[in-house]
Every structure is written in structure tokens, then in C-alpha cells.
């Protein structure tokens, strides 16, 4: 029996990367899953991968940062599942790397709409179903960029810092309901969002330097974030609430340095 046996889960940003890996991990752990992404074709591919593994996943198209869309897919998901136990608000955009003085209000508004307002809307429309059921787990994807500078562009980093604060304030607002709210702060993970970084390094022949600043000296993979999400979704994390967990190879635990320290 999997650690999510009998759980009813919704995952946003499920068309690729961390979201897709989480859908597949949740399904393997016994959850019934609804996968959501604004790219309808990609999220159908995620559902097809789940079916190929012997799991039934419902795929829905929707914009995680649009109020009407979130209402619609949360409503459709809870009707399909008969309730909601786990909500993973994972959808996000990077916004690229734009110099500070070239950033526009429109760029900031779009990144905040998806990355910060999106998780708020997920909580706004998903949490009442959990409160009614007596508890549940909400997980949001933040980032190490929300903890320290130089891990992402200014609007992206600010949006992820906002997600960390949202998780803390939402956990407090849901006091006494049995609903837990936590965040995952991925480091450098190979996904569609970070593909240009990896492709650029490979083209330059410097792939071996990817992730060199963290103590594990490598990048992470989506399944490693999905593993943390599965833990937070499970009853094993029943006393974990209002926290933001870096999954970054140790990057946020240390200061970057030049050169290599040798063991003695």
C-alpha cells in the first residue's frame, strides 16, 4: 500500500517537469489524481504516461493564475474525486533573465499573477473542501530564489518569496481546521523552464559545471522534488505545517566560494 492510498489530489503545472513527476509519483503512491495545466496537449501526455503505468489520471486544461479557471478546475476535480485531500499548487513561470532597468510593470504583473496569485487562488478555492472534510495538505512550489538573491530574476524571486509568506500566513489563517500548508523551494532542477541553462552549458561543453555551487555539485531532477511533495502530502508529515523546505543539494545552506576545499 502506498503512502497516499485513498488520497484525492490535484496537481497544477502538471504538463511537464516537477508537476508531471509529482502526478506520476502521487499515482504510484495510491492517490487518485487530477492533473491541470494551461497546455492541454502536454497535460494529456502526462495522463497518458500515467495510464501506461496502470494508473488513471484525469487531465484538465486551465490557467492556474486566472480566477475563473481555478474555480472551474477545482470544482471539476472535486466533483470527479468526490472531495480533496491534497492540492499541489506547482504551476509557475520564470519570466526569463531581464536586466532590472529593462523590466516592465507588465512583466512583473504576469509573473506575480501566475506564481503568487495562482497559489493564493488554489488555496482560496481548494482549502474549503479540505476544511469541510476535516483536514488536508496544500503544497506550493516556491524556490531557493525566494530565499536568496542570484538564483533568478527580480520578479521571479519576489514572487517566490511571496509564496513562502503566503504559505506561512495561510497556515495560520487555517488554524484549527486540520489543513496543513507547506512550500518546497527547489534549487536548480532540469525542467522545461530551466532547459535554456542546460542546453547552453552543453553547447559550451561546460555541462559538468552545472550545479557546481551546491555541496552535491549537481543539478536536481523533477522526481527528487516529487519525492518531497509526496512526503508533505502524506500522513507522515502530519505535524509539518507552515514551512518552506529547500531541496537544492545544499545550496542555501552555504555561501558560494571559488575553488575547491579538500578533505583532510
Residues that are catalytic: 156
Size of the chain, expressed as the number of residues it contains: 264
What DSSP element (H or E) covers 33?
strand 32-37
In this structure, how many other beta carbons lie within 10 angstroms of the beta carbon of residue 66? 17
C-alpha span between 60 and 81 (Å, rounded):
13
Q: Do residues 180 and 171 touch, judged by C-beta distance below 8 A?
A: yes
CA 1 to chain centre: 25
> Going by DSSP bridges, is the β-strand pair 244-247/136-141 parallel, antiparallel, or unpaired?
unpaired
What DSSP element (H or E) covers 156?
helix 154-173
Contacts of 133 (CB under 8 A, 6+ apart): 83, 84, 85
Taken in order 113, 118, 120, 121, the sign of the CA dihedral is positive
What DSSP element (H or E) covers 87?
strand 86-89
Q: Do residues 25 and 49 touch, judged by C-beta distance below 8 A?
A: no
Burial classification of residue 20, based on how many CB atoms lie within 10 Å of its CB (0-12 exposed, 13-18 middle, 19 or more buried): buried
C-alpha span between 75 and 69 (Å, rounded):
10
C-alpha span between 212 and 85 (Å, rounded):
38
Amino acid at each position: 500500500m502506498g503512502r497516499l492510498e485513498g488520497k484525492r489530489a490535484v496537481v497544477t503545472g502538471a504538463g511537464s517537469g516537477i508537476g508531471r513527476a509529482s502526478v506520476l509519483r502521487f499515482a504510484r503512491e495510491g492517490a487518485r489524481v487530477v492533473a491541470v495545466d494551461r497546455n492541454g496537449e502536454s497535460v494529456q501526455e502526462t495522463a497518458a504516461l500515467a495510464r501506461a503505468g496502470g494508473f488513471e489520471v484525469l487531465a484538465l486544461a486551465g490557467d492556474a493564475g486566472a480566477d475563473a479557471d481555478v474555480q472551474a478546475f477545482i470544482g471539476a476535480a472535486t466533483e470527479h474525486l468526490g472531495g480533496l485531500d491534497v492540492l499541489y499548487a506547482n504551476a509557475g513561470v520564470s519570466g526569463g533573465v531581464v536586466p532590472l532597468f529593462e523590466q516592465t510593470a507588465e512583466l512583473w504583473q504576469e509573473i506575480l499573477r501566475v506564481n503568487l496569485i495562482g497559489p493564493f487562488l488554489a488555496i482560496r478555492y481548494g482549502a474549503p473542501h479540505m476544511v469541510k472534510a476535516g483536514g488536508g495538505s496544500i503544497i506550493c512550489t516556491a524556490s531557493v530564489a525566494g530565499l536568496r538573491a542570484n538564483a533568478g530574476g527580480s520578479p521571479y524571486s519576489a514572487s517566490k518569496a511571496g509564496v513562502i509568506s503566503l504559505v506561512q500566513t495561510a497556515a495560520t489563517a487555517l488554524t484549527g481546521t486540520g489543513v496543513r500548508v507547506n512550500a518546497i523551494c527547489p534549487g536548480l532542477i532540469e525542467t522545461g523552464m530551466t532547459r535554456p541553462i542546460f542546453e547552453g552549458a552543453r553547447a559550451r561543453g561546460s555541462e559538468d559545471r552545472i550545479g557546481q555551487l551546491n555541496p552535491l555539485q549537481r543539478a536536481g531532477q523533477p522526481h527528487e522534488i516529487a519525492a518531497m511533495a509526496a512526503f508533505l502530502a502524506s500522513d507522515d508529515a502530519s505535524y509539518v505545517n507552515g514551512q518552506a523546505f529547500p531541496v537544492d543539494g545544499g545550496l542555501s545552506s552555504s555561501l558560494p566560494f571559488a575553488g575547491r576545499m579538500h578533505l583532510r
